[in-house]
């Protein structure tokens, strides 16, 4: 049973990491879109994610389904505790989809500018909402004996959760800027390249501040690494990946810089999983007894076995589909009359 719980938790983390990598650059592109002035250039920016953005968002839905099926008590507590942030997140997802689809339906400048602003704003909101939820899961939220949230909305927006929100924005902004220079060419490519280094610097600054604050005020995140030093390899790979991003950008190897950015996201989420394990929802008022873990909040063994069977079939299909889509739409963006 312990193995099943661990395996299903690992699958959930993989799904979250897949969403962060794939929809992360979509959100970064959305935030960068507002910095491009010409209509044709904004169309190129939008069409860089046009064929893939909706498929990327499915990873979040799949992760939510995996959490609901495998750890229903955790799902219930998260949805009730973060009801307002989740509603804000869903509102952002809805408006982003509408902005992408409606933006080029009419030729008027005011029409397109309105949807461009909504596209950028919704991307910012989604990234920030995801970050604040993650920050609260690291910090912990007040729970009662039944695992129910007993805090207030104000208690969710602490300086630390806002800091993690800023880190998420910085990470996705950098990720999206690298993706765009990889997908564009000529004058637009040069314009967008000017945003990459500032994005990298901004991310590194927020990353350094967040790491320092986490180690000082939330030492439980480093306990697993202290107990099992081999986990430090993850942190080392993370630092090397971050250091490699500006190196690859300097040498014009945008694809390798993007891969390094993906590795950075994987390492950050892996460190989160290692630091919080086995607690998924940490009870800040009594972490030892009231926290929801993968062991005290999982579904039955039979359910987890069935879910694992479905995942063994479904995961390769999802990964194969994703690889196929990105293979078909690889290369620089070209727009025509059928484009967004």
* Residue 57: predicted pLDDT: 87
pLDDT, position 208: 95
pLDDT at 236: 94
User: pLDDT for 266-296, tens place per residue?
Assistant: 999 999 999 988 889 999 988 888 899 999 8
Tell me the average pLDDT across 293-319.
87
5 touches 304 (CB < 8 A): yes
| 16 contacts 268 by C-beta, under 8 angstroms | no
Check residue 326 and give its pLDDT.
Answer: 87
Q: How confident is the model at residue 120 (pLDDT cuts 50, 70, 90)?
A: very high
CB contact burial 133-166 (16+ within 10 A = b; e otherwise): bbbbbbbbbbbeeebebeeeeeebbeebbebbbb
Q: Can you give the pLDDT at residue 201?
A: 95
Q: Nearest to residue 52, comparing CAs of 332, 328, 336, 312?
A: 328
The residue among 107 and 337 whose pLDDT is bigger is 107
CA nearest 123: which of 28, 50, 22, 18? 28
What per-residue confidence (pLDDT) applies to 124?
95
- Per cent of the chain over pLDDT 90 is 55
The mean pLDDT of 318-337, rounded to a whole number, is: 83
pLDDT band, residue 322 (cuts 50/70/90): confident
Burial (0-12, 13-18, 19+ Cβ within 10 Å), 91: middle
What's the pTM? 0.93
pLDDT of residue 147: 86
Compute the mean pLDDT over every residue in the chain, rounded to the nearest whole number: 90
Read off the pLDDT of each residue in 28-47 and give the average, rounded to a whole number.
Answer: 90
pLDDT average, residue stretch 172-181: 95
pLDDT exceeds cutoff 60 at 179: yes
* Three-state DSSP class for residue 129: helix
Average pLDDT over residues 16-43: 91
pLDDT single digits (tens) 130-140: 999 999 999 99
What pLDDT sits at residue 278? 87
What pLDDT is attached to residue 4?
A: 86
Flag whether pLDDT at 1 surpasses 60.
no
Answer yes or no: is pLDDT of 340 > 80.
no
Are the beta carbons of 85 and 125 closer than 8 angstroms? no
Q: In terms of Cα–Cα distance, which of 197, 206, 173, 198 is closest to 25?
A: 173
Q: What's the pLDDT band for 338 if we cut at 50, 70, 90?
A: low
What are 2-22's pLDDT values in tens digits? 688 888 888 889 999 999 999
In this prediction, residue 137 carries a pLDDT of 94
Q: 10 Å Cβ neighbour count for 216?
A: 8
- One-character DSSP codes across 245-303: HHHHHHTT-HHHHHHHHHHHHHHHHHHHHHHHTTEEE-BTT-HHHH-EETTTS---HHH
**Measured CA distances, 286 to 73, 280, 281 (Å):** 18, 14, 12
pLDDT tens, 220-242?
A: 898 888 888 888 999 999 999 99
């Amino acid at each position: 049973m312990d193995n099943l719980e661990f395996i299903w938790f690992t699958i959930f983390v993989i799904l979250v990491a897949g969403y962060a990598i794939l929809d992360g650059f979509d959100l970064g592109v959305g935030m960068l879109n507002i910095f491009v002035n010409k209509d044709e250039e904004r169309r190129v920016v939008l069409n860089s994610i046009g064929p893939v953005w909706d498929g990327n968002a499915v990873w979040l839905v799949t992760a939510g389904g995996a959490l609901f099926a495998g750890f229903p008590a955790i799902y219930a507590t998260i949805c009730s505790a973060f009801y307002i942030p989740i509603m804000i997140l869903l509102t952002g997802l809805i408006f982003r989809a509408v902005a992408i689809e409606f933006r080029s339906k009419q030729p008027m400048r005011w029409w397109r500018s309105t949807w461009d602003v909504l596209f950028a704003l919704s991307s910012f909101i989604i990234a920030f909402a995801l970050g604040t939820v993650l920050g609260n899961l690291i910090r912990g939220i007040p729970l009662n004996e039944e695992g129910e949230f007993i805090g207030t909305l104000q208690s969710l927006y602490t300086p630390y959760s806002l800091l993690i929100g800023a880190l998420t924005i910085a990470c996705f902004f950098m990720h999206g800027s690298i993706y765009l220079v990889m997908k564009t060419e000529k004058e637009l490519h040069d314009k967008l390249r000017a945003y990459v280094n500032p994005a990298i610097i901004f991310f590194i600054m927020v990353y350094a501040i967040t790491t320092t604050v986490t180690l000082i005020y939330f030492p439980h995140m480093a306990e697993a690494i202290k107990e099992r030093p081999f986990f430090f390899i993850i942190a080392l790979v993370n630092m090397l990946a971050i250091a490699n991003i500006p190196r690859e950008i300097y040498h014009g190897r945008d694809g390798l810089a993007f891969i390094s950015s993906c590795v950075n996201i994987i390492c950050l989420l892996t460190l989160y999983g290692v630091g919080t394990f086995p607690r998924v929802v940490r009870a800040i008022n009594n972490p030892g007894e009231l926290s929801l873990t993968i062991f005290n909040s999982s579904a039955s063994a039979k359910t987890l076995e069935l879910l694992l069977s479905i995942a063994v079939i479904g995961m390769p299909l999802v990964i194969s589909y994703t690889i196929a889509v990105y293979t078909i739409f690889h290369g620089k963006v070209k727009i025509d009359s059928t484009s967004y």
